[in-house]
Each structure stands twice: as C-alpha cells, then as structure tokens.
A and B are shown apart, each in its own frame.
Chain A
Amino acid sequence: MVDRLITSYPPPTAPGIYGIISAAGPSVGPSGLGVVAIVGKSSFGPVGTAVQCGSPSAVQTIFGDPSAVGREVAPVSTLANLAREAAIGGAIGFVAVRVSGTTPGTTAKITAGIMDSASTVVGQLAAASPGVFGNQLYCKIQTVLGSSTQKELVVTKGATVVQDTRFTSGAGEIDNLAAATVGAPYAIFTKSASGSGTLGALASTQMQGGADPSGTSPTDYSNAFAALSTWPWATLVTDSEDIAGVGNAVKSYVDTETLWGRFRTACVGEPTSVGVSTRYANAALLNSALVRYQGTGFTYPNGDGTYRNDEGYLAAATDAGIMSTLTPGTSMTWRAIPGATALVTGTPPYDEPTAIVNGMGYYKYSATLGIRTGAGISTLVNPATPPVWAIALNPGWKYLEHVATAFGLIGDIGDTWESMVANPDPVLRPPNTPAGRAALIAAANRSAKQYVDNSWIQSGDVIVDPAHPSTSNTAYFTFENLVVALRAERLVLALPFGTP
C-alpha cells in the first residue's frame, strides 16, 4: 500500500511511499475487497468495538436479531439488516461496529443472583453485553450428564443452546465457573462471595432487565468510525439517514482514510418519503468522488410471501455491497439487484437527468437485468473542488470505475515498491542512484503494463519526474501519458432507414 496521499512537494520527512493525485493523471482499488464496514444499532454485542464477521448470519449471531426485517423510522437494531442488504449487493465480509447512545444500555441478568448450596447469593450471571436480546436468554446450571466431576452452565435462546460452559465441580466450583465464563459470548458469571463453596442447582431461568442504548447522537457514529480505521474494508455504510450531519461526517471520514493510503468509499441513502427535491439537494451536498448517495429503492421478497421496501439506509447498504467489490475496470453501472421485484421511487418519482446532474444514485428497470443500478456516477459533480487527498481531480473521477482503477494502480505500485524498499536484506534495497531508480521504474511499469493489458488504462508509463530532481534519500516519479480506460456504456445507434 501507499502510506499516504500528499498534496504538496516535498513529501513528509518519514520514510514511506507517497502518492500524489493530480488532474494531469488519473486515478485506484480499495483495500478489503468485498468487505463492507457497517455501523448501526443492535440489541447485543460489544459497543464501540469493531468485529469482523464472515457472513450476515455471523453478524446476527453476534449482534442479535434486527428489530424489524424492513426499514423503520427509529429502528433499534439494524446491524443485521445492514449486513443482509450488503450481501445482496455482493459483500463477502463485514466489519461491524455497534453504536452507543446518550443513555447506555443495561445488561440482562438472572435477577435473583446465583446462589450456593445454602441459598446464599454468591454472584451474578449476566448477559455478555447490554441490550434487549439478553432478555431472550435462559440459563441453567446442572451436573453434566454422566459425570461426577463436571458441572455446566447452559444458555439457550428459544430451542437453541447458544452457550454450554463446563467447569470442574466440587470445592472451588464457584471460582471455576467465574474463570470458565471469562470472555464467554452470551452469559458471564461474576463472583461476589464464597458462600458454602458449592453452587446450588439453577433451573432454567430467564434473564431480565436488558435494555438497548438509546438517544444515539451523531457523535456516537463518529466515535464508531474511529474503531474501523485499522481494519481492512472497502466501503462504509451506516443506518443513519441524517445526511447533513452523519452524512458529512462519513464523507470527511473516508476522505481522511484515503488521505492516509487506506482507499475507502462510502454509501448513504434517504428514503423516498423525503421529498425528491430534498434528495437531489442532499445528493449534491455530499459531492465527492468517494461517496455514493442512493435516493431510490426496490422491493424485495422476505421469503414468507411478504415484501419489504429496501430504501434509505437499506438501499445504501446494497449499493455498499456492490461498491465494495469494485476492482480496476469495473463500475457501478448496469449492476443487477438479484431478486428485487420492483422499483421504489416515491411520489413524484425522480427525474433521471436531474438525478444525474445532482449525483443522486438511482435504480431503474431493465428488460434483461430486472432491477439494476442507474447511472454509475459517484456524486462527484464538481471536480474543480479537490478533496483533501488530491491536488486536483479531472472529470474522470466522477466515475467510480475511474476511482477503483486509480486506487488499484496506486495501491499495486505501492505494494511492489514496498517489497523492494523493505527488502529484509538491506543490501538488496534499491539505492537512490540512476540504477536504483531504474529498478523501481521497471517494477512499477510491470504493474502499469498489467493495467494496459487488461484495458483498465489506455496507456501510462512510470518515469523519473523531470520537474523534481532526486535528492538525498528522496526520489520523485511520475506517469506520462496516463489515461484511464472506461467501459463503453453510452452507446448510440443511428437508424437511417430508407423509404420503402
């Protein structure tokens, strides 16, 4: 990877690989391909901590069920929904962060406490994390069937055993249970007294008193973003539809990430209950090469004969799934939403030319693909205003395909150079001499040639930057004739029929 995108010469004093994006050249693939960072509310799971999950069901296991399968006005548990929708778009992994609130949640527990054989309370058995999900858990402590030396704490949710923690019985078993449940996923025992030294039997008992955090504010989202920085992921999506506040924070966050060489994108969305003119305005508000605003939606079968409206944050999650898979030479255009059954456009519906001018993403119907993405533009409608990570951008940056190709090219050359300048044998590291720079150029051009061979760029050769002579341990390089190749997506067919 590159260590940082910089916007001025000379580069920082620290050793590293730095990239400069300017209008003369083009543009890159995000890291964490196919991985979507999801930030939202939930009824279980760690708060404010990033957790890697390999599937939507893993997200649901760790963070609990969604409060509703569809979009709600004030949903209390959304992480599972975000993961499900992102998977529809093609996401293959997730880094999830549960947001907190101004009122912290409370942890469900066995209200009577855990007692010893003399019915004296010796500790508390509580859910591993706060939230109402804990109220669905039942706990019992019993002797392991067929064993005279082991007991077990069995935690069930419905008919499913979700935790079975075994510990040595007899003297010290209270301590043994406490030790055995350290870091347990659902129920944790905390000892408060020694009592008789042995535990009494606990019949299946429901935990109670769990409550979700409430009063989530924008600052809870921005705190969650910070937890994501060290993880590999490509695209960020949240359950917030606060475009002016959280949306702008999202944009600023991915800009900051990209500045530090971690190429990220993001998706936001608003439901069609928001007036279409407001959606146009909000799409333009987040004008950026890295952020896609989705202003429409689609209907999707729930699998039980009912359908949900996937719009707002749900549609943004689907788009995030698609965007997370973008590689050099691929775009957001003509991407089908498998299984979607109809469009959700609101009343009045969007106007396609106005949507494009404002950078509002939308879905449309295709006879061959069904529901598909409309214009593949990002929301970059004003390339004249560069983000913090670039000197200047050309209009090509309004295409997410261009963004993916440019970040891929920078990233690949950065990886190649990193293996050279960080060679474990210092003697083999390239010197800052004509020969050393030539070796670096040759390696970079091997990467560039791969992009030409795959028609990801039309042309481009790495050369020593003639405007910036190499000095000391700093060498400058640039591209000449660098042109990104976009797919042919606007086809015009004239039909000059003759008169019969």
Chain B
Amino acid sequence: MTETPATGDTAPAPAPAAAPPPPPPGPAQQASAGEPAYTMAEIQAEAQALGIYPWDVAGIFGRHPGVEAMTEAEFRAALEEWRSPPPEPAPDPNEGGF
C-alpha cells in the first residue's frame, strides 16, 4: 500500500441529500431550450459535490436509454425519480415454485 492513502481509496462520502447545486460548466451539449446539457461522465466527475455517488449517475442514465446528456433540470427530475421507490410490479405467475 502507499504510505499516503491515495485520494479516493475509499468510497466518497456523499454530502447530506440536499437539492444538488448546478452541474459544473464543461464541454456540454446544448439542449433544445438553450440550457447546457451534461454527459454522464461530466456529472459523475462532480458526483461528490452533488451529494451522490458516481454509480448513482450510471443508474440514472441507465433508466433513460438513449439519453446521452441531461440538462440540470432534467437531471434534478431524474434524481428525484431515482430516490423514489419504483411502482409495485405485476404478479409473477411463476412465484412460489411448486
């Protein structure tokens, strides 16, 4: 091991789950309304500042297949959805074995 623990040697501790600050400026795409949009990698790079984990961002984008980038408002909405329990699934006909 290193004498000095490398940055990130343990999982980053997220800040309390508050409303995330605006994503950082970056080489982002422009959304149709003119708002800057941010890629998954760009948001992951700022995950700690947003009070979330990098793998949260991957899961949020995974729930929106085909979406390459999100505006701040879109990401806020998706994050809120991420923090909400999913709807109850339909009954499984195979449930319970036999």
Contacts and interface: CB of A to CB of B under 8 A. Distances in A.
Interface string A68-87: 10111110000000000000
Contact of A70 (B6, B44, B96): B96
Contact of B95 (A16, A73, A215, A247): A73
A250 interface: yes
Contact of B56 (A3, A219, A307, A344): A219
A253 interface: yes
Interface string B42-56: 001000000011111
Interface stretch (A148-156, A192-200, A223-231): A223-231
Given A3-B2, A12-B6, A16-B2, A222 B86 contact: no
Interface in B46-98: 52-63, 65, 82-86, 88-98
A311 B84 contact: no
Contact of A219 (B12, B83, B91): B83
Nearest to A252: B58
Contacts of A250: 55
A95 B2 CA distance: 25
Interface secondary structure of B, over-half rule: loop
A432 interface: no
B86 A217 contact: yes
Interface stretch (A238-246, A316-324, A391-399): A238-246
Contacts of B96: 68, 70, 72, 308-309
Interface string A208-228: 000000111111001101100
A230 to B, nearest CB: 6
B32 interface: no
Which of A15, A68, A225, A252 has the most chain B CB atoms closer than 10 A to its own CB? A252
* From B13, B60, B97, residue with most partner A Cβ within 10 Å: B97
A68 B90 CA distance: 18
Contacts of B82: 217-219, 245
Nearest to B64: A244
A299 interface: yes
B8 interface: yes
Given A248-B61, A285-B62, A306 B98 contact: yes
B2 A14 contact: yes
Given A218-B59, A219-B56, A249-B58, A102 B84 contact: yes
Interface string A1-28: 1011000000010111100000000000
Contacts, number: 145
Contacts of A73: 88-92, 95
Contacts of B56: 218-219, 222, 249
B85 A216 contact: yes
B86 A247 contact: no
Nearest to B93: A273
Nearest to B86: A242
A251 interface: yes
A16 B88 contact: no
Contact of A245 (B13, B62, B93): B62
Given A225-B53, A226-B13, A307-B98, A248 B58 contact: yes
B56 to A, nearest CB: 5
B97 A299 contact: yes
Contacts of B57: 252
Contacts of B84: 102, 215, 217
Interface string B6-18: 1111111110010
Contacts of B6: 3-4, 12, 14, 16, 260
Contact of A215 (B4, B54, B85, B93): B85
Interface string A288-330: 0000000000010010001111010000000000000000000
Contacts of B54: 252, 256
Given A222-B55, A222-B56, A230-B11, 13 more contacts: A14-B4, A16-B2, A73-B95, A102-B85, A217-B82, A226-B14, A229-B11, A248-B58, A248-B63, A273-B93, A273-B94, A309-B97, A344-B94
14 contacts: A3-B1, A3-B2, A15-B2, A72-B92, A74-B88, A214-B85, A217-B83, A223-B14, A247-B62, A248-B59, A253-B55, A260-B8, A306-B98, A309-B94
Interface of A: 1, 3-4, 12, 14-17, 68, 70-74, 101-102, 214-219, 222-223, 225-226, 229-230, 242, 244-253, 256, 260, 271-273, 285, 299, 302, 306-309, 311, 344, 418, 422
Interface of B: 1-4, 6-14, 17, 44, 52-63, 65, 82-86, 88-98
